Structure 1
Amino acid sequence: IVILFITIQALLSFKLYKHYYYKLFAFLTLLSICASFFPFIDQLFNGLSAPQKRWHYLIAFSSAILIALYTKYFRTLSIKNYIFSTLIGLACVFMSAWYYDDFVEWIWFVPVVSLIGLLILLVNEPYVRVNLTQFFILSIMILSILVSIVFIRNQIYYEDHIRRGNVRYATESLYDSPLQQRLVNKMKQHIGDDERIDWRVNDQDNTPMYQHFKGMSLYSSIFNHNILDYYYDALKINMQNESVSIYQSTNGRQNIASLFSVRYLMIKNYQDNIPRYFKKIKSDGQYQIYKNTLTLPSVRITDKIYDAKQLKHPIDREHAMIDGVVLNHRGQSYPHKAENLLNQSHITYHDINHKKEHLIHIAKSNGRIQIHVPKKLSTRYKDFYVTLFVKRGRPDSNFSVNVNGYVNSRLFNNSTYRTGVDTQLYRTQPDKNDNINIDLAPGGDYEVDIKALHGVNYQNLIKAHHSSDFDHHYKNIKNGIKVHLGQHKKGIASINTPYRKGMHAYIDGKKVKPFKVNYMMTGVPVSKDNKEIIIKYRPKYWYTMIVISSICIVASAIWVYFRRKNNI
C-alpha cells in the first residue's frame, strides 16, 4: 500500500492534536502503520491462516481522513512547525527512493505540494489563505492520481497480468476452454450429486468452482481446516506443489479416491500418476479421461468402529476407513496393520555425504537415495508407499524431491506458504531394476529420514467395493444434503462430506447430533429402520450474532435519538 508523505506531516503536527477527530485518526493511523510490521496481525485478519496484508484498507481509510483533516487545519500551524514536518516527510520519500534505487515519476511532484502549502502560510490575510487552500487540496489530488497511475502500472498491469487479463486467456486451455467444458459436462451427465470429478487446469486450483462441478481442489486462505488436517496430518496426501493455501487431488492414491467417490479423473496427455484401478475410457485432443472401477458409496453404514489414537500410519488409516469407521477416543484397535518392508530392502546413497545421523550434505547439484526392493516384494504388491522426512538445511532455498519421476516441489523454510509438514507419503512403483530412486536437488544440507516402506494390494478396497450397498446415496438440497438409506443394519452412517460445527441432522424427521468421523467426514448414528437423513448447515453462533446485532442496532438508535434531543 502507498501512503502519501503528507500522512507523516500530519502525524508530526502536534499542535493539531487538540482537535478531537484529528487526534483520533492520527492515533488510528499510527496504530495501523505499526501493526503492519507484525505478521500475527496479518494472520488475525486472514482467518488465522497464512499472514497476508489483506487489511491494509484500514490504513488507507484512516490516513485519508487524517490528510483531509490536515488540509482543514494546517493553516493554523506556524511556518517553523510546517517546515519541520515537511522536511522529515520529504526526507522519508527521497531516502527511500535512494535506498531502493527507484525514483518513480510522482516523486518529483512531492516538493511542489510542499511548496504550495508553504506559500499559503506565508500569506498573512486569513481570507486569502482559505481561498488558496483549494490549490493545496488540488495539488494533493494530483499527487494521489500520479501515485495511483504508477501503482496500477507496476502492481496490476505487469506482464503476467496483461497476459492473463483478457478474454482470449479465459477461453484457452490454460483456464477454461470450450473443449474442457464439453468434457466436464459429459462427465457430469454420468455422476450423481454425491460423486466427484478429479480435474484441475494446470495451476488453477479453483477449477471446480468456475467450471461448475464437484471436484477435488481449492485455492483459498480460508476454508474448512478439517480438510487441511486430513491432507497434511491424517493421510499425508502429497501435493505436487507445496502450499498452505490449497488442497488438490489425491496424489494417485486409489483408496482415498474411492473413499471420496471420485468417479472420473481427467488429465492432460503429458500427465500421469493415475490411481491403480482407474481405467482409461476416453481421449479427446490433449485430454484423457479415466473412470474409477473400484468406487465406494458416498454413504456407508457400519458397526465396526476403530480408535483413531491407535492408528499411527496413513496406510492403516486408509484401511480402517474402508473396513469400518474411525472415531476419536472410541472404538477398538485396528487389527490388520500394514507391514513395514524397509528392513527387507537395501538402501544406498549416491553423491551424498553423511554428516551425522539423518544429516546429509549434497556437494553436487543433486543427490540420490536408492531403495532396492527384493523381487519377491516387487512382484507381490501393486503399489509401494515411501514415508519420507525431508527438511532443507543451508543454504535455505526451494527444493525438490523426485521419487521415480514424480517431482514434489517444496518451499524454503521461511516461506509464508510453507506447510511445515516435513514427513510426506509418496506413492510409487519400483523401476525395471526394482529400485525406488529418491533424488534431492539442489545441493546443500538436508535432514533426511526414510521412516517406512509399505506395499499395498488393495484387497481391502476390492472386498469393500463388491460388498457395498450403492443404494445409500445423497443429493444436494438448500443449505444441506438429503441422504437416502437402503436396507442396512444398526451402526454409524459415514457421509463423505466435510464435517463442520453448525451442522444439524434429522433422521426421519427426528433431530440428532452429527459428529466427525474418518478425520473429516460427517457421521450420524442410525438404526436398521431409518430411511432418510437430512443434514443442514448453519454457521456457529448464527442466532447469537443476530440477537447481539439487533440489540446493538436498537441501542444505537436510542442513543442517537436522546443525543439529538438533548442537543436541541
Structure 2
Amino acid sequence: MFKNHPYWCLLAISFALAVLAHGAFLYQWTQGQYMTGINDGLSQMMPFKHLLYEQYTNGEFFYSFDFGLGAGTFSELAYYFSTSIVFLITIPFVWLLDIAGIVQEPDVLFWANAAVFISVIRMTFVLFITSRVFMYMKIPYWPAWIGASVYGISGMFFRHTVYWEFFADSFLWLPLLILGIEKIFREQKPGWFLMAVSISFFDNFYFAYINFLLSAIYILFRLFIPLSSAENNKKKKLLTFMGAGIIGFSIGAVAFIPAVYAYLNNHRPPFQQEIPIFDPFDNILYTSRYIILPALFVLFLFMFRFYGNKTFRLFALLGIAGIVMHLSPFVSSVFNGFSAPQYRWEYFISFAAGGAIATGLTMLTKISRRNFFIATGLTGFIYLIYALLDPALEFDWMETGLVLGGLLLTIAAVWTAFHFNKSGTLIIVGPVLLAWLIAYANFYQSEKIMEMGNVDQVSKELITGEDYDNPEIRGLLKQIHERENDEMYRIEWMQGVRNNTPIVQDFQGLSAYSSILNKNLLYFYLYDMEIDMQRESVSRYATLGNRANLFSLVRGKYIIRSADDSNIPYGFKELLESENYKVYENGNVLPFARGATEFYSEDKLSMHPPLVREHAMLNGIVLNTEEEGSPIQVTGDITSKFTIEEKEASYDDGILEVTGETGGIDLVWEDPAEGQGDLYVSFNLVNTAEDEGFNLTVNDYVTSRKSNQSVYKTYVDDLTIRVPYQDRVEIRVPEGRYFLTEIQLFEEDYETLEREADENAGLKELEIDGSRVEILYDNIADDDYLSAVIPYEMGWSATVNGVDVEVLKANYAFVGVPIEAGENHIIFTYRPPFFVPSLILTVLSLFFAMFWLFRKKRADSE
C-alpha cells in the first residue's frame, strides 16, 4: 500500500504510534475528561485559545479590551498562542468546521475537547520530522523511527502539552534546527537552518531562546566531532551559521520584536532565593517528573565499542552532557533567562538519547560477549547507586516496577538478539523498547499527570459547572448585558482564583493572569495605588480592594458577590439577585473619557499616600512629567487620632510578636466623627518566618500573603486596606514575629467622587473596535487634557481633529492627550510596538533570503 509513498508510510506509522502513546488520555476523553491542566491549563491555555480564536476570526489581530483592562494581545500573548504556528494552522480548520456546523461555537469547552487530538497530530509530526532528521544522518529507516520515538514519546512531551500546551511545540522545532545544522556541516547548505531559525523566532521568543542555547551546544560538539569528509573549513561554516541566523532572525522579526518588547515591559520581582550550582537528586532513572532515561540508552552508554562510531559518540556525549546539566539548578536558571530554575529544556536529553539508541541499534550485531557483560554490569551498578542514594525512593509495583521491569526486559532482549539471532536484533530489541515507551507513557499520563496533577478532575461537568463557568453567574451576566447600552462597562467577578474568568464568561472584567502583563498596570496595582488583590501572587491583577474611587475611575460599573458578602464598596446599590449571588451597581461611575485642566506630577505625588493619588486623578489628571503641576492637597489624615491596643501580642518599635493563635493590634478612634464613608489603613508588613505563608485580616477583610520562599511572592509589603467607616480597625495575623511599620489612617467621605460623578460629561460619542477607539468630546470646560480608560503602552497613537498628537501616560497607567477648546474628534489606534519596522524587516529579509539562497545554489552548481 505504501510501497511508492515512503513518506506517507512513515507518517502513517507515526500516527499509529502517537495514538497508542496517548492511550490513557484518549480513554479519558471517552469518559468526558480532558487533556488539560486544572490550573494553568484551564486558567490560561484554554481561555487564551478562546480569546485569540474569536479575535482572529473576527479580523482583529492586535488588541483586546476583553483581556484584563485591555492589552496588546499580539505581543503580550506571544508567549502563549498569538504567534504559535501550530495554533495558527489549527484556526482555519476549526473555522471551517464551525461555519459548516460540524462543531458548536469554539469556546473553552471545545478547546479542552480538542486538546488530545491536537496533541496526537503534533506528536505524529514530531515523530515524522525527527525520523527524517536521523535518516538524513545516515541512520537506517527503522532504527531512525525507533530513535525518534524515544524523543517524541517522552514524559516531558505530555507534561508540556497538559500544563502549558504551547511548550510542546518546541519538540517540533528542535529537530528542524538540528537538521539545518547538519545541512550546513555536511553540504554547506543554509536553507533548512535559515527556515528553522525563522520559524523559531516567529513562533515563540521564549523557546527560541531555549532552542538556540541547545543548538549552540550541538554546534559546539559538532565542531569537535565531524561526521563527514566535507567539514574541514570550520570558520566558513561558522560564518554561514551567523549569516543564516541573522537572516532567519530578521524574517521572524515581525513576531519576535513585539514579543520581546512585551517581555521587557512586563514586571516580575527578581528571584531572590539562592540558586545552587549542583543538586544531585532528581532521579532520572526511577521517579523524575521531567525525564526518565530508557534502560537501553543507559546500557548503550556503557557499550564502549559503540564510541568508535562518530554519530553514536556525538549523541552519547550530548546525552551525558545533558544529564550533568540537568543536575544543576543554575543551568536550569540560565535556560529560564537567569530567573527561577525551570526544567523545561530536558527534551534535548530525550533527543540525544533517541539518536544514541538509533545509532546503537545498527551496531548491536558487532558487540562481543565481553562488551555485553561489562555494559550490563555497569548499568546494573548505576541503577543500584541511584536507588540507594535517593532517600525519597520507595518501591512501587507500578512506577519502580515498570522501570526495573523495563531494565530486565531490555537486557534480556539484547542478550537474546546477541546470543541467538544477531540478524534479527532490530526485530527483537525494537519492539521491546517501543512497548516500554508506550507503557511508560500511559503510566506517566495516568499517575504523574492525571492523578498527581488532578487532571482527572478536568471534565465537562467542571468546565460548565459552578466552580469554573457557573450557569447561575451566566444568567446574571445575561441580565446585565440586556439592560446595558454603554460601549464600555466593567464587571468585577472572578471564579475563585481564576483571574481570566472574564474571558471564559465573555464579559469585560477587572482581572487578568498571564506571565506577561503590561508593566504600567502592574505598577498601578502594586505600587502606585497599593491595591490589595486578596491573594499575593505575581503575573496577576484582580479586584480593586473595594475602593470606590478606583471602581469609578476605570468604569467598574457592576460587582457580583455571594449573597452573604456584606463588604460592598461605597456607592454600590443592589440591582439583581439569584439564589446564591447578588449584583450591585455603581452609582458614581465616571465617563470613559474625561477632560482635565488641573494636572499633577506623578513624581511629586510619589511622596503622598494612595488616597491622595486617587483624589488627584479625580480632580484632574496625573502626568509623568518633570513640570511642577498643580498644588497637591492632603486631606483626611487621621493617624494621630488613633491609639494602639495590643491583642494577644506585643508591639514595640515596629516589631509585632503574636503569642496567640492569631493576634495583632487594634487602632482605636476614641472620638470618631459622625458621617459615612470609608477608612484607608496603610502599613508595611513583613513576616520574619523563613517559609510560611499567612492570612492577614483587617476587620472583616481577609487577604493571603506568600511565604518568603515562594517563587510567586511579589515582595511588595506596603499595603493599603479599605474598611468601612468605624471606630476600631483590627489587624490580625497568625502567631509569629512580624515587622509592622509606617502605619497611617485616612478617612474618605467621597465628596470628591460624588462631585465629579454629578458633573456633566463632555463625552458625546464612543466607538471601540478592537485596536481602534474613536471619541467625540465636547470640551465646553476648556480643559487642556483628556484621559481615557485605555491602558498605556507603546503602540498607541492618536489624532485630535485629524492632527497627530503625543499619547501621554496619564493617571499612572492609562492614556491621555492634549485637547482643544470646543469639539474634539479623537482617534486612538494601536499597533504592536515596532510592528511596522519589524514587518518591513521581515519582508525585505524574505526577499534577501531567496536571493541569497538562489545565488548560493547557482554558485554551487557551477
Offset, 1:368? 2.3
Q: 2:721 aligns with which of 426, 449, 455?
A: 426
| Aligned match of 1:463 | 755
| Aligned match of 1:23 | 314
**Counterparts of 1:563 and 1:10, CA distance in 2:** 40
Offset, 1:507? 2.7
Letter in 2 for 1:399: F
Letter in 1 for 2:321: L
Letter in 2 for 1:150: F
Letter in 2 for 1:367: G
> Is this contact kept in 2: 1:386–1:450, CA < 8 A?
no
| Aligned match of 1:206 | 500
| Aligned match of 1:453 | 745
> Is this contact kept in 2: 1:346–1:372, CA < 8 A?
yes
Which structure 2 residues correspond to residues 397-416 of structure 1 after superposition, within 5 A? Answer: 397-416=692-711
**Counterparts of 1:422 and 1:214, CA distance in 2:** 29
| Aligned match of 1:168 | 461
**Counterparts of 2:566 and 2:363, CA distance in 1:** 67
| Aligned match of 1:369 | 665
Which structure 2 residues correspond to residues 536-555 of structure 1 after superposition, within 5 A? Answer: 536-550=829-843, 553=846
**Residue 303, structure 1, aligned to residue 597, structure 2:** yes
> Is this contact kept in 2: 1:163–1:169, CA < 8 A?
no
**Residue 335, structure 1, aligned to residue 656, structure 2:** no
Q: 2:679 aligns with which of 375, 384, 388?
A: 384
Q: Secondary structure at the match of 2:561?
A: strand
**Counterparts of 2:802 and 2:760, CA distance in 1:** 26
**Counterparts of 1:388 and 1:234, CA distance in 2:** 14
Letter in 2 for 1:23: L
Offset, 1:468? 4.3
Stretches of structure 1 that go unaligned for 5 or more consecutive residues are none
| Aligned match of 2:16 | none
Letter in 2 for 1:2: I
Letter in 2 for 1:397: E
| Aligned match of 1:322 | 618
Which structure 2 residues correspond to residues 63-462 of structure 1 after superposition, within 5 A? Answer: 63-72=353-362, 78-79=371-372, 82-83=375-376, 86-87=379-380, 89-91=382-384, 94-95=387-388, 99-101=392-394, 103=396, 104=399, 105-116=401-412, 118-119=414-415, 122-123=418-419, 129=422, 131-158=424-451, 161=454, 164-189=457-482, 190-311=484-605, 312=607, 313-331=609-627, 332-354=629-651, 357-377=653-673, 379-380=674-675, 382-394=677-689, 396-429=691-724, 434-441=727-734, 443-462=735-754
Q: TM-score, normalised by structure 2?
A: 0.59
Offset, 1:120? 6.7
> Is this contact kept in 2: 1:305–1:330, CA < 8 A?
no
**Counterparts of 1:440 and 1:294, CA distance in 2:** 34
**Counterparts of 2:302 and 2:861, CA distance in 1:** 34
Residue by residue, what CA displacement relative to the aligned partner does 1:10-42 show, whole Å, maximum 9, x if unpaired? Answer: 667786486368627854883597278447956
Offset, 1:219? 2.0
Q: TM-score, normalised by structure 1?
A: 0.87
More helix by share: 2
Aligned residues: 559
Stretches of structure 2 that go unaligned for 5 or more consecutive residues are 1-289
Q: Secondary structure at the match of 1:460?
A: helix
Which structure 2 residues correspond to residues 510-521 of structure 1 after superposition, within 5 A? Answer: 510-521=803-814
Offset, 1:98? 5.7
> Is this contact kept in 2: 1:5–1:93, CA < 8 A?
no
> Is this contact kept in 2: 1:306–1:330, CA < 8 A?
no
Letter in 2 for 1:30: A
Offset, 1:281? 1.4
Q: Secondary structure at the match of 1:452?
A: strand
> Is this contact kept in 2: 1:507–1:530, CA < 8 A?
no
Cα 1:57/1:451, change in 2 over 3 Å:
farther
Offset, 1:92? 6.0
Cα 1:34/1:293, change in 2 over 3 Å:
same
Q: Secondary structure at the match of 1:371?
A: strand
Offset, 1:559? 4.1
Instruction: State the superposition RMSD in angstroms.
Output: 3.3
More strand by share: 1
**Counterparts of 1:50 and 1:272, CA distance in 2:** 40
> Is this contact kept in 1: 2:476–2:576, CA < 8 A?
no
| Aligned match of 1:506 | 799
> Is this contact kept in 1: 2:365–2:425, CA < 8 A?
no
Q: 2:787 aligns with which of 487, 494, 510?
A: 494
Q: Secondary structure at the match of 1:445?
A: strand
**Counterparts of 2:848 and 2:302, CA distance in 1:** 37
**Counterparts of 1:261 and 1:492, CA distance in 2:** 19
Offset, 1:113? 4.7
Residue by residue, what CA displacement relative to the aligned partner does 1:312-349 show, whole Å, maximum 9, x if unpaired? Answer: 31111111111111112334154211343222211011
Letter in 2 for 1:263: K
Residue by residue, what CA displacement relative to the aligned partner does 1:171-209 show, whole Å, maximum 9, x if unpaired? Answer: 222222333222112212315232111112223221100
**Residue 3, structure 1, aligned to residue 299, structure 2:** no
Q: Secondary structure at the match of 2:779?
A: coil
